[in-house]
């Protein structure tokens, strides 16, 4: 049931800002920044700022359009009933106009001031989230989060393309990590919000297939995600700090996924609550370490290892050279 006001209320700037889903937007900005920082090459600070701003605005616009098109079911769910449209703070038509205007402006600005590949990827991200996920998948299949997660996974590739003008295995690996992270993250949320989704008629996995099956799927995706999250350390992207963070927090993530799989308290779902929180820490830690290593000048692990091998070879050559000289002097004193 909608909680809309029974009396008029003046729409504020804060209402429109809330339509942009600031918390989700902040995660998108963070992963997009990681793509910009980790990419080889140099981007003028003003161009980098423009690229990041376009990513942020497009993400916010996508969230706004999602709220507009889903306003009928948002009012039925406890988690979303206080959003601006079901509360009556912003008209659905105004939200649609706001969202599409921001989307077009963000893509056009990216194309004009950064490059066309980044703009194309940004446009595809908005289209995939709004049309493919929101309008098509969300109300039709329990795989909505799996397929629709691609839109939220693309910001690192957009950031990377902003710098290089092309794509390679490295940014696609970062996309794959977020793509595999999305299902266990949102399925953990859906375990304790399943009644909300059932009431709104959204076929989330716990509603359609039950909680035991959802727990099993969470564990399967986590078993793939954890080793995948370590791979950037071996593909010239992450360094020793990244390897330590991805391994340590990845094992923590897996431990909580196992706990969720074994959970018996279906009323409160304490393990799913913990897993949801750990999943946020996991993704933030992975991309934070990539940014820190790049800014601190810490080389990627493959380069680090190569440097160690070169230094070891130089030491070995020096010892060998010193040994041959010692042999000559020994012969002279015989």
Q: Are residues 87 and 140 in the same domain?
A: yes
Q: How far is CA 52 from CA 34, 118, 289, 314, in A?
A: 10, 11, 19, 43
Let me know: does 195 contact 77? Beta carbons within 8 Å.
no
Q: Are residues 96 and 109 in the same domain?
A: yes
How confident is residue 11, by pLDDT bands cut at 50, 70 and 90? confident
Q: Are residues 219 and 85 in the same domain?
A: no
Q: Are residues 268 and 211 in the same domain?
A: yes
Let me know: does 255 contact 279? Beta carbons within 8 Å.
no
Question: What is the average pLDDT value for the chain, to the nearest integer?
Answer: 89
The pLDDT value given to residue 317: 57
Q: Are residues 45 and 111 in the same domain?
A: yes
Query: Is pLDDT at 327 greater than 50 in this prediction?
Result: no
Q: At 29, which CATH number?
A: 1.10.357.140
In a domain, 330, yes or no: no
The pLDDT value given to residue 310: 47
Cα separation, 275 vs 212, whole angstroms: 16
Token look-up 């990419």 returns 39
In a domain, 324, yes or no: no
Cα separation, 204 vs 210, whole angstroms: 9
The pLDDT value given to residue 322: 53
Sign of CA dihedral 69, 133, 24, 113: negative
Query: Is pLDDT at 1 greater than 50 in this prediction?
Result: no
Q: Are residues 139 and 180 in the same domain?
A: no
The pLDDT value given to residue 307: 46
In a domain, 318, yes or no: no
Q: Are residues 159 and 173 in the same domain?
A: no
| DSSP assignment letter at 177 | H
The pLDDT value given to residue 303: 54
| DSSP assignment letter at 193 | S
Token look-up 């370590």 returns 230
Going by C-beta distance under 8 Å and a sequence separation of 6 or more, which residues neighbour residue 255? none
Query: Is pLDDT at 123 greater than 80 in this prediction?
Result: yes
Q: Are residues 19 and 144 in the same domain?
A: yes
Q: What is the mean pLDDT of residues 201-227?
A: 96
Instruction: Report how many domains make up the chain.
Output: 2
Query: Is pLDDT at 319 greater than 90 in this prediction?
Result: no
Let me know: does 24 contact 148? Beta carbons within 8 Å.
no
Phi, psi of 211 (to 5 degrees): -70, -40
The pLDDT value given to residue 305: 47
Q: Which residue has the higher pLDDT, 166 or 314?
A: 166
Query: Is pLDDT at 59 greater than 70 in this prediction?
Result: yes
Query: Is pLDDT at 321 greater than 60 in this prediction?
Result: no
Burial per residue of 232-250, b for 16 or more beta-carbon CB atoms within 10 angstroms, e otherwise = bbeebbbbbbbbebbeebb
In this predicted model, what pLDDT tens digit does every residue of 78-120 receive, in sequence order?
A: 989 999 999 999 999 999 999 999 999 999 999 999 999 999 9
The pLDDT value given to residue 220: 98
Q: What is the mean pLDDT of residues 22-39?
A: 94
Q: Are residues 141 and 186 in the same domain?
A: no
Cα separation, 233 vs 75, whole angstroms: 44
Q: Are residues 147 and 237 in the same domain?
A: no
In a domain, 288, yes or no: yes
Query: Is pLDDT at 328 greater than 60 in this prediction?
Result: no
Let me know: does 161 contact 230? Beta carbons within 8 Å.
no
Q: Which residue has the higher pLDDT, 313 or 68?
A: 68
Domain residues for the domain of 43 are: 10-167
Q: Are residues 193 and 177 in the same domain?
A: yes
Query: Is pLDDT at 320 greater than 90 in this prediction?
Result: no
């Amino acid at each position: 049931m909608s909680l809309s006001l029974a009396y008029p209320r003046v729409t504020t700037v804060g209402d429109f800002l809330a339509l942009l889903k600031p918390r989700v937007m902040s995660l998108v900005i963070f992963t997009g920044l990681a793509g910009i920082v980790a990419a080889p090459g140099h981007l003028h600070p003003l161009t980098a700022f423009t690229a990041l701003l376009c990513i942020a605005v497009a993400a916010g616009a996508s969230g706004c359009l999602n709220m507009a098109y889903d306003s009928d079911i948002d009012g039925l769910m406890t988690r979303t009933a206080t959003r601006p449209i079901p509360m009556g703070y912003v008209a659905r038509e105004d939200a649609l106009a706001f969202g599409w205007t921001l989307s077009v402006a963000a893509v056009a600005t990216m194309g004009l001031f950064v490059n066309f590949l980044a703009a194309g990827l940004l446009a595809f991200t908005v289209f995939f989230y709004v049309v493919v996920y929101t309008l098509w998948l969300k109300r039709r299949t329990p795989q909505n989060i799996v397929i629709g997660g691609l839109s939220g996974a693309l910001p690192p590739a957009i950031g990377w393309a902003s710098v290089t003008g092309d794509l390679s295995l490295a940014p696609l690996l970062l996309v794959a990590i977020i793509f595999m992270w999305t299902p266990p993250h949102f399925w953990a949320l859906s375990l304790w919000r399943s009644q909300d989704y059932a009431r709104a008629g959204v076929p989330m996995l716990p509603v359609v297939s039950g909680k035991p099956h959802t727990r099993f799927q969470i564990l399967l995706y986590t078993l793939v995600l954890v080793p995948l999250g370590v791979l950037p350390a071996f593909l010239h992207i992450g360094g020793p700090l990244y390897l330590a963070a991805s391994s340590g927090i990845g094992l923590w993530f897996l431990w909580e996924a196992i706990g969720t799989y074994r959970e018996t308290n279906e009323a409160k779902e304490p393990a799913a609550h913990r897993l949801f929180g750990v999943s946020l820490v996991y993704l933030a830690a992975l991309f934070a370490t990539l940014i820190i290593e790049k800014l601190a000048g810490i080389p990627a692990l493959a380069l680090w290892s190569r440097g160690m091998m070169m230094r070891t070879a130089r030491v070995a050559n020096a010892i060998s050279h010193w040994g041959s000289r010692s042999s000559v002097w020994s012969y002279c004193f015989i």
